[in-house]
Amino acid sequence: MPLIESLSGIRGIWGADLNEAIAAKYASAYLSFLSKRIGKGLTLAIGMDTRPSGHLLKNAITEALDCNFIDVGMAPTPAIELAVRESGADGGIIMTASHNEPAYNGLKFLRKDGAVLSENDMQQVIGICGKIKGLRIRKSRLSKISDKSSELSGKYGKFVLDFIGKGSIEKIKKSNIKIVLDPNGGAGIAAKEILQKLGADIAGVNMEPGVFGRKVEPDEDSLFYLSNIIRESKADFAVGLDCDADRAEMILPDGSIVSGHYILALVSKYILSSNDKNYYNNKNIKNNEYNNKIVVVNDATSNVVREVVESLNGRIIETGVGEINVVDEMLRQDAVLGGEGSSAGAIIPPSRCRDGILTTACVLALIANEGKSLSSIIKEMPKYYTLKRKLAFNRKNHDSMIDGIKKYYTKNNFKIRSLSDSIKVAAGRNSFVWFRASKTESGVFRVIADSDNKSTAESLMEDAIKVVSNAGKS
């Protein structure tokens, strides 16, 4: 599998697609990109998840670049992004492969506000990298490294606590909520102390850094075993994090997983209906006004989020897939929340990325405020059925496939909308089918069908698979 270059940075198998020299080359291209915009004498925040190869990557980068570094150490991605903002750094580098297995690693390159680079900026970095010849890792560092890991870790914990606010924290403490936390040896280990300070009772599993007890990607299959631990520990639900803790998947006592779309809907409900003195109250949001009650989602997000947001007098704005697309639209709209339903983690300002720990904190606060179980709150929400499929395809046929899909649905009088590189076909107000070639998995074409009617969702998916198959042959 070749090295993957995408909006999220670069990612590959350590020792095969990615090594010290390749990492140093991309990091040098990134520094060159920043230097052209900002100037010399730059300071970068640098941090990693718990993969064993992270230290080798960090050494290679800090030895190759002539700049100042603020070392955040092992930390969740949202904490590293916060460190960029808090420290006044000119940018940052995160060494993580997120939900990929331990054999992988990668680099995320950050802007001054902590967000990942835009697609255009990332393409510039890739272009600069392609022109670098014969880069060698220096044997002695020219860079200056300041270890700020303890200080910045404390600031991230305080950020989460301050956001939730004293009112909700008191309610969480009185609610006696107990959850099972499974960070799987990843950077989300930091969540245990933070969630305990919120007032939750935490039963931790897989808490040793760098020891991966299950598949890294948290999903229904890898987290199903937690249902037994929920029952044995008499917990309310379980949370499974990926390696850099930007995603939080939730498992109910019956073993069912809470869809990322519903998690985003839950956080929307908490934020848009909250009366606590948190970040959003400081912006004077009023429940009966649209002012700032904007939630930005990608166009593959289930309509359950739209229904919940609109029921609270909010408004949904859609953008193309990709975290940075959502983040930039949030900034343009001064939105209170954003996210991609396919990834279980909300983007909550001033954060510039998904945050699995803060997402979990918001769900705990919602449970405490509502005085109901997580299962009960979900049952009261509109019921939507979201089906996902990954189809193999030849990337050489991509353009002809897209043309074939558009022609079929246009011919059958469906309303089609394209955002960035996706196709969304509306089948009534509450149903759609969505198509897009994966940017992170080679040769994978993604299809999503969403509807408030199960048979409609199944029919849309069945038809979509046939359409993709026929389009790929044309």
pLDDT tens digits along 169-205: 999 999 999 999 999 999 999 999 999 999 999 999 9
Helix (H, G, I), strand (E, B) or coil at 450: strand
What is the residue-wise DSSP string for 290-322? -TT-EEEEETTS-HHHHHHHHHTT-EEEEE-SS
Residues 184 and 203 in one domain: yes
Instruction: Single out the residue in 336, 364, 379 at which a domain terminates.
Output: 379
Q: What percent of the chain has pLDDT above 90?
A: 81
Give 17-72 pLDDT, tens digit per residue.
999 999 999 999 999 999 999 988 999 999 999 999 999 999 999 999 999 999 99
Alpha-carbon gap, residue 258 to 291, rounded angstroms: 30
Instruction: Single out the residue in 379, 412, 429 at which a domain terminates.
Output: 379
- Confidence bin at 474 (pLDDT 50/70/90): low
Alpha carbons within 13 angstroms on the beta-carbon side of residue 433 total 21
Nearest partner of 272 among 283, 286, 261, 260, judged by Cα: 286
Instruction: Single out the residue in 95, 118, 147 at which a domain terminates.
Output: 147
- Confidence bin at 138 (pLDDT 50/70/90): low
> In this structure, are residues 163 and 155 in contact, taking their beta carbons and an 8 Å threshold?
no
- State CA 41 to chain mean position distance: 31
Residue-level pLDDT at 275: 52
Residues 183 and 321 in one domain: yes
Residues 361 and 264 in one domain: yes
- The lowest-confidence range among 4-18, 54-68, 275-289 is 275-289
Does 156 score more than 90 pLDDT?
Answer: yes
* Residue 448 DSSP code: E
Residues 367 and 419 in one domain: no
**In the predicted model, what is the mean pLDDT of residues 230-241?**
97
Helix (H, G, I), strand (E, B) or coil at 257: strand
**In the predicted model, what is the mean pLDDT of residues 144-150?**
86
Give me the number of domains the chain comprises.
3
- Confidence bin at 243 (pLDDT 50/70/90): very high
Question: Which residue out of 8, 87, 98, 274 is catalytically annotated?
Answer: 98
> In this structure, are residues 379 and 256 in contact, taking their beta carbons and an 8 Å threshold?
no
> In this structure, are residues 409 and 447 in contact, taking their beta carbons and an 8 Å threshold?
no
CATH number at residue 428: 3.30.310.50
Does 253 score more than 70 pLDDT?
Answer: yes
Residue-level pLDDT at 343: 83
Residues 288 and 400 in one domain: no
Q: Spell out the alpha helix ranges (H) of 412-444.
A: none
Give 383-439 pLDDT, tens digit per residue.
999 999 999 988 888 899 999 999 999 999 999 988 778 999 999 889 999 999 987
Does 16 score more than 70 pLDDT?
Answer: yes
Residues 358 and 391 in one domain: no
Residues 399 and 433 in one domain: yes
Alpha-carbon gap, residue 98 to 244, rounded angstroms: 5
Does 282 score more than 60 pLDDT?
Answer: no
Does 101 score more than 90 pLDDT?
Answer: yes
**In the predicted model, what is the mean pLDDT of residues 368-382?**
97
CATH number at residue 214: 3.40.120.10
What is the residue-wise DSSP string for 330-362? HHHHT-SEEE-TTSS-EE-TT--SB-HHHHHHH
Residue-level pLDDT at 104: 96
**In the predicted model, what is the mean pLDDT of residues 97-110?**
95
What is the residue-wise DSSP string for 5-28? EETTEEEEEBTTTB-HHHHHHHHH
Alpha-carbon gap, residue 321 to 312, rounded angstroms: 25
Query: What does DSSP say about strands 4-6 and 385-392: parallel, antiparallel, or unpaired?
Result: unpaired
Does 455 score more than 80 pLDDT?
Answer: yes
Residues 169 and 71 in one domain: no
Residues 293 and 262 in one domain: yes
Residue-level pLDDT at 286: 44
* Residue-range definition of the domain harbouring residue 121: 4-147
Residue-level pLDDT at 40: 86
**In the predicted model, what is the mean pLDDT of residues 145-156?**
88
Residues 43 and 170 in one domain: no
What mean pLDDT, rounded, does the chain reach? 92
Residues 393 and 328 in one domain: no
Respond yes or no: is residue 351 known to be catalytic.
no
Residues 77 and 91 in one domain: yes
